[in-house]
Structure 1
Amino acid sequence: MQATIKIKINNDLGHPMRFLMLLVAITATISISGCESTYYNAMEKVGVHKRDILVDRVGEAKESQQDAQKQFKDALSEFRSVVSFDGGDLESHYNRLNSEFEDSEAAAKDLTSRIDKVESVAEALFDEWQDELKLYSNDRLRSDSATKLQATKRQYASLIKSMRRAEKSVDPVLNALRDNVLYLKHNLNASAIGALKGELAGIDRNVQQLLSAMETAINESDAFIKQLK
């Protein structure tokens, strides 16, 4: 996708705050359009390079993983509360569990979106880096840059693999929560609790695996950001 952005700054837009607001509006518009290459080019014109964007996006993906960790812990806690039900308003327990499930789905979608954005800018950065190796006239500097490129790509490959592994670990938990929420929705009685109790051990195990996978990805994110900075 090709696009041309022309910015004309008249006397009114010459004010720094107005220019900043304009830049934010342009950035939002480009992001919404999904034209990543145009977005990267526009950001580079104001001094924000692909490496900077990659660092920011890896940091955002890390935060999304931390948020997901907390959310799935909360969902597990609420599920334990449901299977420990011993009288009272079962529907209120169902409503809370359903709310935690919906929040977990939202957290999973956000995580996938953040990882996709990491991949997008990483691919653009590595393509640019590779192409610009041809521009060197100094063989020593070209060789050094090529070595750094390969090292960065290797560490990135490990990072994105751990991120995708953490992302996949979400599916078994969401599927189990969805099944149990649906079952409880149509069986709001004490006998339903007995059926759910048999599911607790499996959900607990899957959540622990999820938390571990995300912790690994979070640690790799920290290491990758440190290398790029």
Structure 2
Amino acid sequence: MRFLILLLTATAMISMSGCESTYYNAMEKVGVHKRDILVDRVGEAKDAQKEAQEQFKDALTEFRSVVSFDGGNLETHYNRLNSEFEDSEAAAKEVSDRINKVESVAEALFDEWQDELKLYTNARLRSDSANKLQATKRQYTALIKSMRRAEKSIDPVLNALRDNVLYLKHNLNASAIGALKGELAGIDRDVQQLIGAMEKAIRESDAFIKQLK
């Protein structure tokens, strides 16, 4: 119960201040350190990417359904495709938000770690800690590059989906389907590249979490 109260207090503090450093300090007081927060946030970013993968697969499936239109209510197909596009936008934003949060706590952790090297009186322990800091930084750099590369691969898919949704919105007729068919191969390719980039980032995330733990 005491831990829950302290945790709620920490949450209230971050809500009032809107300051990450205040949040980290409050969490430290309840025994949750920056390293723990980084592990959690990397896991959350990984989960967001997995969900985004599934969302973009769904959007691709719906787009294929539209270009295969062979009678019926085209507006219904448009509404479904537009819904998948909006969900894809939301998934993309979630991925970006999660990556930003990873960067925020990682920078705070590395700054703290670097500052605390000055506090050692034992040269051997200081050297060992400094080496571990550099190794962790190197692995983190590879991780964040992979995450940002995956994030960047979202843009071509979102742009293509947006273009086609807008086109269909103003051309709800069978002749519009012919124009969309020519877009399918490019969207399919971009989605596959996105999925591949996210798979790499997810593997990097697992390796980083394992190393920190």
Shorter-chain TM band: over 0.9
Q: Is 1:184 aligned to 2:168, yes or no?
A: yes
* CA distance in structure 2 between the aligned counterparts of 1:107 and 1:29, rounded to whole angstroms: 28
Which residue of 2 is the match for residue 193 of structure 1? 177
Q: Which amino acid aligns with 2:209?
A: I
TM-score by length of 1: 0.90
Distance 1:167 1:131 in 2: 31
| 1:184-213 residue CA offsets vs partner (Å, 9 max, x unmatched) | 001000000000000000000000000000
CA distance in 2, matches of 1:32, 1:167: 30
Aligned twin of 1:3: none
The correspondence of residues 54-203 of structure 1 with structure 2, limited to 5 A, is 54-203=38-187
Structure 1 or 2: more helix by fraction: 2
How much does 1:34 deviate? 2.8
Shift of 1:31: 4.7
Q: CA deviation at 1:20?
A: 1.8
Q: Which runs of at least 4 in structure 1 moved beyond 6 Å after TM superposition?
A: none
Structure 2: any 5+ residue segments left out of the alignment?
none
CA distance in 1, matches of 2:152, 2:112: 30
- RMSD of the alignment, in Å? 1.3
Whether the 8 Å contact between 2:13 and 2:22 is mirrored in structure 1 is no
Aligned sequence identity (%):
85
- Corresponding residue for 1:34? 18
Q: Deviations over 1:87-131 (max 9, x none)?
A: 001000000000000000000000000000000000000000000
Secondary structure of 1:86 counterpart = coil
Shift in Å, 1:66 = 0.1
Query: Taking structure 1 as reference, are residues 51 and 195 closer, same or farther at Cα in structure 2, changes over 3 Å only?
Result: same
Unaligned runs of 5+ in 1: 1-15
What is the SS of the residue equivalent to 1:105? helix
